[in-house]
Structure 1
Amino acid sequence: MNGASRDALAAARERLDALTDRVSVDAARLADELAAVTALLDREVSLRRVLTDPAQSGEAKAELAQRLLGGQVDGTTADLVAGLVRARWSQSRDLVDALEELADTADLTAAQRANRLDNVEDELFRFGRIVASNTELRAALTDRKATAPAKSTLLRSLLGGRADAATERLVTRLVTAPRGRSLEAGLESLSKLAADRRDRMVAVVTSAVPLDARQKQRLADSLAKLYGRRMHLNLDVDPAVLGGIRVQVGDEVINGSLADRIDDAARRMAS
């Protein structure tokens, strides 16, 4: 997002954080209702354009949103959406992207409240790895001819009772309403949102053998010092790494042995 949309999203994130700081707010319900509004505005292009029309006053658009949603969603959700449409958006589709992000963030907040955020982060990562290694599963989940209920049923058979409820909701929304994104890009976006809940970056670590607890802690600490933020490690094992380690943080890839990379990080910090 650029310009006005970026500012509008930043303000919306702050409002969402303020809302979900209240114990009385059901974050999971808020997520479901925001997702429903996302689907509505993604489908109804003319309505989306009206709600983002810069020629209309913010109050007029907020009142329209309140009338449309009144009785359909909780008052908290309606107020949050009204605040979104009061803002200026560079493109009408940016409003839908913002709503989708807020819905996902609300679900992650629900997981965080239950002290399950780490589990959800790990489950999203593992699910991505499973899909990447199973071409038939990926084809079934991304088949444009398959209905949303059919995909939901498949995901329920895969995740139901095996993954956190928030993980299942997030993945189901992504698969049934990808909105032009690839499955891989959507899962990466969700992982980044999950990391942001704890102000952490995500490092995808591939090693020839599983790392022990001490190695994981040393690596996490070194990467945190190197990047200046707390680091969540998504761990993968690949014998092809040949005794070394591969670390990817965003677009940056670090290759080398574990000991060499830790020593190098320490030297860089010292200098």
Structure 2
Amino acid sequence: MTAHGASREALAAARERLDALTDNTAVDAVKLADELAGVTALLGREVSLRRVLSDPAQSGEAKAELAGRLLGGQVSGESADLVAGLVRSRWSQPRDLVDALEELANLADLTAAQQAGKLDNVEDELFRFGRIVSSNTELRAALTDRTATSAAKSELLRSLLGGRAESATERLVTRLVTHPRGRSLEAGLESLSKLAADRRERMVAVVTSAVPLSDGQKQRLAGSLAKLYGRQMHLNLDVDPAVLGGIRVQVGDEVINGSIADRVDDASRKMAG
């Protein structure tokens, strides 16, 4: 998704909310992906509804209430909350709202793959499938045939990918093929591959402090850790009064105790040297 202005800010906020949800392994990321994809398809079909839910002249709360009434009982509370957050935001154009929903659905599936240790496989499979499509005109024609039903295309992909690729890869490709939304197949696959690569570069730091961190402290900590590990760093924050005189940070299996600022700065200096 190429977003501008208000849409870029809204998408960034939505991705943070999704990360906060899916970092909790109790949340079913695959179910979340399916539900968000369903809402994407709904808004893709219903142009007037899409316009109402992205109308900057309407209050965010009014739009969130409308979305809640429409989706009530149809999706999980987590999905409903994400959609409510999206429609409360300002979007440069109605399509951006639907693009954001689609991206969140894809990210949820990629997160599920990451949690299962399969993200590298998915990224590789998306790339290889793109190469296969570009070199097989007959297959490309079948997957992009506007007269073919979604069920027929899904069955074709199941015969090609079922049991041979990760389930996340099959779901992502099937959604793209059955709901291209005006994109070429090649462009859609390239977008999915980039999303997978971006997700793979993301790391999570679990930060436990005696008192809540200020926004400035969080930004400095995230920046220092990103420099130290060479990757984008997402902070999962927890407050525990038992943590005295400092902060506890866990990145994967590595745990840093004590004054995190001093330790990170020291490590950064050593790396720079």
Q: TM-score, normalised by structure 2?
A: 0.73
Q: What is the distance in 1 between the residues matched to 2:69 and 2:36?
A: 16
Residue 135 (structure 1) aligned to one of 125, 134, 137: 137
1:89 aligns with 2:91: yes
The match for 1:66 among 41, 65, 68 is: 68
| Structure 1 residues 65-122: Cα deviation after superposition (integer angstroms, max 9, x where no partner) | 1111010000110010000000011101100000000000000000000000000011
| Structure 2 residue aligned with 1:156 | 158
Residue 209 of structure 2 corresponds to which residue in structure 1?
none
**1:173-227 deviation per Cα after TM superposition (whole angstroms, max 9, x unaligned):** 0000000111110011001100111227xxxxxxxxxxxxxxxxxxxxxxxxxxx
Determine the structure 2 residue equivalent to 1:35: 37
- Within a 5 Å distance, the mapping from 1:92-241 to structure 2 comes to 92-199=94-201
Deviations 1:125-149 (A, max 9, x none): 1111111111100100011111100
Q: For 2:58 and 2:126, locate their aligned partners in 1 and report how far apart those are by CA, in whole Å.
A: 40
Match of 1:203? none
Residues 120 and 200, structure 2, Cα contact 8 Å, conserved in 1: no
Q: Matched residues in 2 for 1:123 and 1:195: separation?
A: 12
Q: Which residue of 1 aligns with 2:26?
A: 24
1:53 Cα shift? 1.0
Identity of aligned residues (%): 84
- Judged with a 3 Å threshold, the aligned counterparts in structure 2 of structure 1 residues 229 and 25 are, in CA distance, closer, same or farther, namely closer
CA distance in 1, matches of 2:182, 2:31: 25
Query: Quick one: distance in 2 between partners of 1:30 and 1:8?
Result: 19
Matches within 5 A, 1:9-20: 9-20=11-22
| 2-structure distance, mates of 1:102, 1:178 | 16
CA distance in 1 between partners of 2:163 and 2:11 (Å): 34
Of 70, 75, 78, the residue aligned with 1:76 is: 78
- 2:162, 2:170 within 8 Å by CA — same for their partners in 1? yes
Task: Name the SS for the 2:78 alignment partner.
Answer: helix
Question: Could you tell me how far apart the structure 1 residues matched to 2:190 and 2:11 are?
Answer: 19
Find the counterpart in structure 1 of residue 54 from structure 2. 52
Q: Could you list the runs of 4 or more consecutive aligned residues of structure 1 that deviate by over 6 angstroms after TM superposition?
A: none
Q: Which amino acid aligns with 1:177?
A: H
Letter of the structure 2 residue corresponding to residue 40 of structure 1: L
TM-score by length of 1: 0.73
**For residue 240 of structure 1, what is the aligned residue in structure 2?**
none
Whole-Å Cα distance in 2 between the matches of residues 170 and 51 of structure 1? 25
What amino acid maps onto 1:25 in structure 2?
A: V
Q: Distance in 1 between matches of 2:96 and 2:123?
A: 26
Q: 1:184 to 1:229 in 2, by over 3 A?
A: farther
One-letter amino acid of the structure 2 residue matched with residue 24 of structure 1: A
CA shift, 1:23, in A, is 1.1
Corresponding residue of 2:220: none
* Matched AA of 1:68: L
Structure 1's unaligned 5+ residue stretches are: 201-227, 231-271
Contact between 2:43 and 2:98, CA under 8 Å: does it hold in 1? Answer: yes
Distance in 2 of aligned mates of 1:122 and 1:4? 33
